[in-house]
Structures are given as structure tokens and as C-alpha cells.
Chains A and B, each alone.
Chain A
Amino acid sequence: MSADLEIGLYVFMLAAFVGYLVITGVPPLLHTPLMSGTNAISGISLVGSLVVAGSDHGLLSSILGFVAVTCATINVVGGFLMTDRMLKFFKREEKPSK
């Protein structure tokens, strides 16, 4: 078993565990922003897309990479914008001080 794979599996195990702990701490109040935020984060495929689009392995590969970069960027940019827009709604009313 290669070292990369071994490290990757450990990273996955720990990240899944940390993810479980962090996400169970998110109140139902914020579940929609959570979903839209993790949706933006799933645009991390952008990292792989960039490598494909920029490594010059022929036109087909470049075009696939270009479409992938576009889709992933839509996710990242759109997802973060939507999440922030929604989070701005969550306000606590100012109790009038007497």
C-alpha cells in the first residue's frame, strides 16, 4: 500500500470524524445556510479541475477541464454568495431599552 494512500485514508477518517462533530453542532436554525455552505465547499473539485484544465494534455482534456472549472467555480462563487446572503437575514431584534 502506497504512503499517499495510507495518509489519505487517515486524513479521510479524521476529517469525517471532525466533520461529524462540527456539523452536529450546527442548530436546525442554520441548516439551509449549512447546506448551501457545504455545497460551496464541494466546489473544491475546482482544485482537480484546475490541474486538468492547465496541464495541456490535448484539446479534449483542456475542454473537459474548462467545463469542470466553470461548473466548480459557479458552485464556489454562487454557493458562498448565497450562504452569506442568507446569513445576513438572521438578526436578533433590538429589545427597546427603557
Chain B
Amino acid sequence: MIDTLITVFYLVAGFLLIFGLRGLSHPTTARRGILCAEIGMALAVIGTLLNHQIIRYEWIVAGLILGSLIGSMTAWVPITAMPQRIALSHAGGALAATLVGVAEYLKMAPNVPPITMLALGFEVLFGALTVTGSLMAFAKLQDLMTGVPIVYKGQNILNISLFIVAAGIGLYLAFDPSQTALFFVLVALALLLGVFFVLPIGGADMPTVISILNSYAGLAAVATGFVFSNNVLIIAGALDGASGLILSIIMCKAMNRSFANVIFGAFGQVAAPTAASKAALVDAKATVQSVTPEEAAVIFRAAKSVIVVPGYGMAVAQAQHAVQALERLLDSQGTSVKYAIHPVAGRMPGHMNVLLAEANVSYDRLIDMDDINHEFAETDIALVIGANDVVNPAAKTDPSSPIYGMPILDVDQAKTVFVLKRGMSAGFAGIDNALFIHPNTRMVFGDAKGTVTKISAALSTLQNDSTPA
């Protein structure tokens, strides 16, 4: 009887999780969808608590209370810090899977059926790797360590060998599960692999790495599902794995790079500037045209259409609210304002969208790259705020550039391009940007938030002056 009830709970839970994610296909249904997923999760937990294997509740209750407290307290981080918060979450979920794997092994050893042992090996391998990998990603995103790739000779060979050894140990244990020491060697190797795996990956690739780790956390959950023969775990883990995989593929495509290239490529190292590029930079400094925010405001006053191109720099400067204020001013004078979102702008998939939505930008103004690129040619002003590589024309024109082939936002087609920037430094990928010396480009130097506020103030004065009294 109770078993039937548990089965029904799990079945409904599985349905609600899938149905809930389906809700995320549109902003109007998304919150309802997440509510469905929450109910699904609650049913899965209740179903599990009815399990006759569970005879003591004190550890469970303590864990649930402590976890809920920490979880709800840490859910209020600023949106700019969301990437590292999510990286930390990946570590937590994966740690749970790993510990479950270790506990189950200790319980069953030395008599572990081969298939269960394989699943356990898979679980701790992907679980432990995700724990340290996510912690590394967290440290890089939180600036606890350098975001620049750390590379050394033979790195890829070492990583691949380590992975093969770890997988080999997992296989061997399936035949001889009594080798407890070997099992812990496997866990240790996986922990080490996570560190080595993220070391050579730089800041510009963080969206991809977070997605891949998301996928691994899902795979670890799937393996847990096979250990317990629990279909809800398998379903939820598969959804998670699919999501991470799809997001990382989208990120790779948006950078015109292969999966292998992200993992083994150590992209984003600052290349030593060659004599030629130094000369070009000196030349560039001579031809850069810069304007003051007040001069920019005059052009904004006459503009019919503006497209804002946000990048991670906007998040760093916390300029999104100032940008929204400028949007309101432009709106009041009848200027159309849209935002062009590059898939890899920011430090995680969709980062710019959430940031601008939080600043009260309506979501129908947030347009994906492919849907807006053709509009730049008919646009009066492209306003580039803290974005660099995603608007670098070298991606189209310079086959020697590391970002050659990456799809970019065609801001140089706009009648005027304003680039808000602190100074003439290179972007995250360490590449010079020919956009800055484009004849249509006007640089506005200074802190992005301050600059936007100054443009708004000047524009507001102009609007008042030209309104008939």
C-alpha cells in the first residue's frame, strides 16, 4: 500500500518537474512553472520520507532545517554576483551526490553488485569533479584568484591521463568492489581533476564552464538514481544534464568555438603584444575620437532610435539603473530604445537580461543578437556600455584574431556609435578593438554609471530648453 503511494508521489513529481521547466519557455508562464517544479520536489521528498528504509528522523530534520536556513539566507545576493552564487550551488549539489555515493559504498562494500558499483563510480567521479571544479569557478568569478587561464606544459595530457586512470579505477572496482582504498583514490583523483579542469579556463569562458558543471551535477544525480533504482532521480538528473549541455553548446556556438577548444584551448590568455600591434595601438590612440557626455547628449536629443549594447562592464559599474533612467528620458522624447543582447555578454548565460530586468527594463525591449543585428543599419545611435569582444569587428575581418569567426553585434553599421569605457585597455580576451577607431565611433571615457548619468542630466536640460514654455 505505502509502496504504491510512494510510486504515485514519484510519478507526479517527475511530471511536475518536466512540466515546470516547460513553463520557462515564456516569461508569463515561468513563475507558475517554477511553482510546479517546487511542488514536484516537495512530493519527491515526502515520497522518500515514507520509505520504510528510513527509521530515524533526527539527522534528516536537522539537515533540512539547517539547509533551508542557509539556502534562504544566501538567496538574496545581488544579481551581479549571481554567477558565483550559482557556481557555489553546483558545488553543494554535487557534494551531496558524492557523499551519498561514499556512504552507499561503505554500506554495501565488499558485496556491491557490478552495475551498482559502476553507477557509484560514475556518481563519485562526476560528483567530486564538479565539487572542486565549481569551487574553482567560484573563486575565479569572485576574484579570489586570477581569472586569467593558468597553463603549463603537458597540461592537457596530464588531465586526460588523470581522467583515464580515474575511469579505469571505476571499471576495475566493478569487478573487485572490495578494494576500499582504491575507491577513495578514485574520489581523490576526481577532486583533483575538478581543479585541473578549471585552471586553464579563463574569464571569457566562464558562461560555458558553469553550464558544463551544471550538466555534470545532473549526470551525478542520474548515477545516484541508478544506485537507488529511483526514477525521479534519473528524470531530474537528465533534465539538469540536458539543460547544462544545451546551454554550453549555445555558448560555444556564440563564440564560434568547439567544446574541445573551450576545455583544452586556454582561451583568453593575454598575448604579448607584437611590435606590429603596438604600432597599431599607438596609431589608434591618435585617431580615437572622444566626446564629452554633454556633446553626446546633443546627438541623443536628435536621435529617433537607440540600441543599447550592454556587456559585463555595465554590471561591474552597476550602471543598469542609470541606463534605465536614460531609457525613460529617451522614451519621453519619442525615441525608440532597444537592447541588443549577445549570448555570451556577461559571466553566465542570460546574465544581461536578468540584470536589466531587475532595473525595470521591460523584457520586450531585450532582443537577442540574431533578431536585432539587421536593425543596426537603420539605427541612429548604438550605445556600447562595458562590452568589448562581442562588438569587435576583428571577429569578421581579421583571420589572425583569436575571436575570428565569432558572431558579433554589428554596431559599426549604426550612424553613430558611442562606446562608454574607462580607458583604452583591451577586453577580457586581451584583444585590441578596431571599433574604437571606426569613423562613426565616439568614445566617452569615464565610469559607465557616471557617464550615463551625465548624459541623462544634459539630455534632460536640452529637453526642457526645447520645450516651448
CB of B453, distance to nearest CB on chain A (Å): 22
Known: A23-B243, A71-B92. A38 touches B229 (CB 8 A): no
User: Using Cβ atoms and an 8 Å threshold, which residues of chain B touch A54?
Assistant: 49, 53-57, 59-60
Q: How many residues of B contact A (CB 8 A)?
A: 110
Our count of residue pairs bridging A and B at CB distance below 8 angstroms stands at 365
CB-CB contacts below 8 Å: A6-49 with B: 7-8, 11-12, 15-16, 18-20, 22-49
A41 lies within 8 A of B59 (CB) = no
Of the candidates B26, B64, B96, B214, the one having the most CB atoms from chain A within 10 angstroms of its own CB is: B96
Name the distance in Å between B62's Cβ and chain A's nearest Cβ.
6
Q: Are the CB atoms of B362 and A41 closer together than 8 Å?
A: no
Interface segment among B144-152, B189-197, B218-226: the answer is B218-226
- A48 lies within 8 A of B224 (CB): yes
B106: Cβ under 8 A from any A Cβ:
yes
Residue B187 interfacial (CB < 8 Å): no
CB pair B86–A33 under 8 Å, yes or no, is no
Other-chain contact of B246, A24, A36, A69 (Cβ < 8 Å): A24
Shortest 5 CB-CB contacts between residues of A and residues of B:
A73-B67, A69-B63, A31-B350, A19-B242, A77-B71
> B24, B26, B76, B96: which contacts A46 (Cβ < 8 A)?
B96
22 contacts between A and B (CB under 8 A): A15-B239, A35-B243, A36-B89, A37-B24, A41-B240, A42-B221, A47-B45, A49-B99, A54-B55, A55-B53, A55-B54, A64-B103, A70-B70, A72-B96, A74-B67, A75-B92, A75-B96, A77-B67, A77-B75, A86-B358, A88-B31, A92-B27
One digit per residue, 1 when the CB lies within 8 angstroms of any chain A CB and 0 when it does not, for chain B 7-33 equals 000000010011011101111001100
Question: Contact between B21 and A78 (Cβ–Cβ < 8 Å)?
Answer: no
When A12-B234, A70-B63 are in contact, do A90 and B30 touch as well, CB less than 8 Å? yes
**How far is B13's CA from A15's CA once the two chains are assembled, in angstroms?**
13
Is B233 in contact with A39, judged by CB distance below 8 angstroms?
Answer: no
Chain A interface: which of B36-44, B173-181, B276-284, B409-417?
B36-44
B59 interface neighbour in A23, A48, A66, Cβ under 8 Å:
A66
| B:69-89 near A, CB below 8 Å | 70-72, 74-77, 79, 82, 85-86, 89
| Complex Cα–Cα for A87 and B44 (A) | 24
**Most chain-A Cβ atoms within 10 A of its Cβ — which of B35, B63, B237, B250?**
B63
- Say if the beta carbon of B262 comes within 8 Å of chain A: no
* Cβ-defined contact, B68 with A91, below 8 A: no
Contact B221 A32 (CB under 8 A): no
**Distance between Cα atoms of A71 and B130 in the complex (Å):** 14
List B contacts of A47 (CB < 8 A): 44-45, 48, 224, 228, 230, 232-233
CB pair B71–A56 under 8 Å, yes or no, is: no
